[in-house]
Structure 1
Amino acid sequence: MGSGILFSYPQLATLAGLQGVIVYAVASAAPILIFAVLTPIIRRKCPEGFVLTEWTRQRYGLVTALYLSALTLLTLFLYMVAELSAIGQVVTALTGLDGLPIVIVEAVVTTIYTSLGGFKISFLTDNIQGAMIVGLIILATITVGVKTEIKPELIESSGLLKSSLVGWQLIYILPVAILTNYFFLANFWLRAFASKTDKDLWIGISISTVFITIVLTLVGVAGLVAAWSGAWPGDPPQDGSIAFFLLLEQLPNWVVGIVLVMAVALSTAAFDSLQSAMVSTASNDLFRNRLNIWFVRGLVVLIIFPVAVIALKAPGILQIYLISDLLSAATIPVLIFGLSDRFYWWRGFEVVVGGLGGILTVFIFGAIYYDSPQKGGELILLQEGLYTGDWGAFGAFVAAPVGGVIWGGIALVGRLGFQYAQAKINGTRFDALDRPLSASIVSEDRDAINPSDTQDEIASAKSTGKFF
């Protein structure tokens, strides 16, 4: 969790009310459980892997792995932009000062200690920052409860306890968007693969799911309290994204200081994790760990400069997340077919065509729905956000996965047809649907974290992943 949650969750509360708060919190936390389900499966199939792209390379081949790596690096880049943008806006909102200095300091400090300590130091700082956040959230919650005066007449007039069209749409949009997007977060996969055993993985993820649900619910409810206390929308009316900070203006300065510390801790915990994930992904996927790690870290340092520049001019935090969500919603459904041995005939060609086709389907849907090709292109970037009051955003998140699967199916039929015709012309046997000799490495009754398979089995399994 980064400091962006202080903007996006209260904003949703002001637009979709209590229904939106609950849906957003659960939809953000529950999908983390997918790592407990899938990590053991992937570790059995790819014991030496530590990020999703390593399994993708083994299962689908080099081209698909590079395609997924590009999307993963893009997602990490967007998340880094969102995080620096958010912390800059937090500082400005809480203190009235320019957020640029804190953006620079955070980028420099996290880069230094992440470069020196790598993943381990990021893991260590997460625990320290997590402990700080627990204490700070408790203090802030109690203070808001004691100091804030709720006006009963505003509760009814706000309508935030009633269901809404946006609230019902979010029940579908958010789980799809967040669940698929988590697949691109290499910092999550690094932590999942670092577990000692499958049991430890389940314990850790279960704890985090409960904790994150509580924290996000509290942050989202701050938007409701801001509305019911009269702090939001204010005079003149302010955007719902700053509802949390309008609420804080009514509280003592020491509470504002506590929240500022909490926001910095949240931000650095998220940002250093994204940096270590980008280093790991780039080193493993692009250079196959043959390039000195310091060169890779140097490249990531160079990337920080455009990240900071874009962060200062970035649009809304939620829109940045939504762009990456739509990419993942188109790609992940066609990718995960390969986790099942029943789909041994599914290849990387289908994954790439399906992923790109899903985005194309969003454009086609938008162009038809809005009767404008330009609006179709804007829908890919979700420039209007989630809260337009129409079915555009909902349709986009339906079109992306469904279109991806349809285009993947078309690619499958086209590939098989081409290979069948090629076999007939060459007078060879059509073998495109032959089952690989080894579709899985580790039996289901072994612990996925510490398998004991031979190198011959691993080498055999590596040969099964092909693009065509």
Structure 2
Amino acid sequence: MITMFLYMVAELSAVNSVINLLTGLNGLPALIVEVVVTTIYTSLGGFRVSFVTDNIQGALVLCLIIICTISIGTKSHIDTSLIEPSGLTHATLLGWKLLYILPVAISTNFMFLSPFWMRSFASRTDKDLYIGSAIAGVWIFVILTVTGFTGIIAVWAHGVDKWGPVSEWSSVAFFYLIAELPAWVVGLVLLMVVALSTAIFDSLQSALISTASNDLFRNKLPLTYIRVGVAILTIPVIVVAIKADASVLQIFLISDIVSAAAIPALLLGLVDSLYFLSGLDVIIAGCGGILSVFIFGTIYYGSAKAGGELIAMKTLYVDDWGVFGAYVAAPVGGLLFLFGSCAIRLAGLWVFAKVKGRRFDGLDRPVRKVQAEHEVEGEGEGEGEGEGNNGVSRVYDGSDGGKDVRA
């Protein structure tokens, strides 16, 4: 939920920056309207409506890319004398570090997001999921390549002094190029940006409602109350998005460091041979991963304050190994805390069993019941068994087979 909150903040912060850049107006009224509209139709339509907006989102992205590519190609003028001084054609330490940081940050964060899993499980078949993922992967690669190069074009067209990496506008360099285009193009792009943001924001709201309902209240609280709670939560989201001085990339990286600490432990929980891991171990691993980043930052910079700032990703563009080390410390530290917690827990259970004179069962495989499926393979075959097998469940003990027991 923390990750989705940060994503909502980043989304509104980006829209606010774009509106300020393209129109010079305060983006707060537009953000309020966007949040109110998404809250209303998400409450009425639920998660199904986000599938509709996703399709609209894909069409808008395609139109936006086509219009902007044509317009930038005809209106933007690259100053070739700025190419060499910019240093963008040279290898840099930050570039090499990002080859590790970004794959770890993005892959773990997507696994940490509810919309990712909700769409995965909403697929009709595995084949549909594979095909959809493949098509989406190709499109995302093309779109990110095209839009990513706009930052390079902005530097080559306007100079590195204006578009340095720490510039407050560096994350919206694409739209700075758009601002130089004819007014009708700017207006159309602004409309598409707000529509795209709305499509993304409703998915985050739906996922937040689902997560709160299932994880916090175990589906026992009426959805109406949860929707009201999410609607109230959007108020601090708007406030933080307006007041935050962090870049959009920095906001995303803060949520990424959380997922990088938690996801490795969660994935190990899917391994059958590691059945002895518990939910408590995974929670401790996630918290331990964040603590590991703080410890690393404190040791590396020699200051507890700097260690805390490292979690907030305030040193991304500093020429050191702080952020790189943070993305190493988070998963590695999380795994160390995972197995450390497991060892301490099992040791405690062993001591407790010895003291109480009981059998130590800390390494016993968990037993779960799976409803046995009754299949009739031929006419008349199994009819006599049908009545006798009513209420039969299969107890799965982790071995290659199960035992049929009376439920």
Instruction: Tell me the TM-score normalized by structure 1.
Output: 0.76
Q: 1:425 to 1:306 in 2, by over 3 A?
A: same
- Which residue of the partner structure matches residue 380 of structure 1? 311
- Aligned equivalent of 1:274, options 204, 209, 216: 204
Q: Using the alignment, how far apart are the partners of 1:394 and 1:269 within structure 2?
A: 33
1:82-161 alignment to 2 at 5 Å?
82-161=10-89
Alignment match of 1:247 (pick from 155, 169, 177): 177
Hey, what does 2:329 align to over in structure 1?
Answer: 399
Partner of 2:298: 367
- Count of matched residue positions in the alignment of Structure 1 and Structure 2: 378
Segments of 5+ residues of structure 1 without an aligned counterpart are 1-72, 443-453, 462-468
TM-score normalised to structure 2 length: 0.87
Deviation at 1:183, TM superposition (A): 2.1
Distance 1:404 1:234, change over 3 A: closer
SS at match of 1:288: coil
Counterpart among 293, 297, 301 of residue 227 in structure 2 = 297
2:98 counterpart SS class:
helix
% same residue: 54
Change (3 A) 1:459 1:194: farther
CA change 1:244–1:434 in 2 (3 A) is: same
Unaligned runs of at least 5 residues, structure 2: 373-390, 399-407
Task: Tell me, yes or no, if structure 1 residue 327 matches structure 2 residue 255.
Answer: no
Deviates more, 1:233-242 or 1:84-93: 233-242
Q: Which moved more, 1:428-437 or 1:174-183?
A: 428-437
* 1:434 Cα deviation after fit: 1.8
Supply the AA of the counterpart residue of 1:285: D
Rounded Cα–Cα distance in structure 1 between residues aligned with 2:275 and 2:290: 25
**Mapped pair 1:256 → 2:192:** no
Amino acid at match of 1:109: V
Which residue number in structure 2 is paired with residue 13 of structure 1? none
- Structure 1 Cα separation of the partners of residues 53 and 302 of structure 2: 50
* Structure 1 contact 341–439 (Cα < 8 Å) conserved: no
Matched, 1:173 2:101: yes
Cα separation, 2, equivalents of 1:201 and 1:218? 26
The one-letter code of the counterpart of 2:222 is N
Distance (Å, rounded) in 1 between the aligned partners of 2:161 and 2:9: 27
- Aligned-partner residue type, residue 121 of structure 1: V
Greater Cα radius of gyration, structure 1 or 2: 2
**Structure of greater relative contact order (alpha carbons < 8 Å, 6+ residues apart):** 1
Distance (whole Å) between structure 2 residues aligned to residue 302 and residue 83 of structure 1? 17
Distance 1:436 1:319, change over 3 A: same
Amino acid of the residue matched to residue 303 of structure 2?
S
Over aligned residue pairs, what C-alpha RMSD do you find?
2.4
- Once the two structures are TM-superposed, the CA of residue 311 in structure 1 deviates from its matched residue by 1.3
Counterpart of 2:124 in 1: which secondary structure? coil
Equivalence for 2:129: 201
1:293-321 Cα distance to aligned partner (Å, 9 max, x none):
22211111111111111211022212211
Q: Is the 8 A contact 1:233 1:243 kept in 2?
A: no
Q: Which residue of 2 aligns with 1:445?
A: none
Determine the structure 1 residue equivalent to 2:92. Answer: 164
Q: Does 1:215 align with 2:143?
A: yes
CA distance in 2, matches of 1:383, 1:456: 55
| Residue of structure 2 aligned with 1:413, choices 343, 356, 378 | 343
